[in-house]
Amino acid sequence: MDRDFLIELFAPFGAIGIRRMFGGMSLSADGLTFALVLRDAIYLKADHDTIPSFEREGMAPFCYEARGRTRVMTSYWRMPERLYDDPDETADWAKAALEVARRAAANRVKTRKPRRAKKAVTKTVRRNATT
């Protein structure tokens, strides 16, 4: 997939950022990644609220091979093929994926452990005593 096609497909959704990654691309809006483009397919960010929509469409999560094992990334699901011909409905799915990205970002902030304060280092200064 080329950049121009992606820009046109997501035009009803709004402006998107496109960055190269791992031989594919990531799509973002408002500084959050909401989709991946890998192996000529678009994978939208998903969570427990949106996964049922993907399952009803017969879609599956992104999978890849690493060290002889199949790894499944359940946070990104393949976008239904029918959406490639329907930019308006693609926009609806992209909005839902962006909301998932926002929830995930908010959860990261909530669960992030606060950093411990560094101990103050005191330095003893020796003065030459001249009497």
124 occurs within a structural domain:
no
| pTM summary value | 0.80
- Specify the number of domains making up the chain: 1
- In whole angstroms, how large is the CA radius of gyration of the chain? 23
CATH no. for residue 27? 3.30.1460.30
Q: What is the pLDDT of residue 52?
A: 97
Long-range interactions of 37-43: CB distance < 8 A, separation 24+: 37/1, 37/6, 38/62, 40/1, 41/78, 41/79, 42/1, 42/78, 42/79, 43/73, 43/76, 43/77, 43/78, 43/79
Q: What are the pLDDT digits (tens) for 47-86?
A: 999 999 999 999 999 998 888 999 998 999 999 999 999 9
Residue 71, domain member (yes or no):
yes
Host domain of residue 35 = 3-105
- C-beta separation of 62 from 38 below 8 A: yes
Q: Give 25 or 114, the one with higher predicted confidence.
A: 25
115 inside domain? no
Residue 128 is assigned to a structural domain of this protein: no
Tell whether 11 is covered by a domain. yes
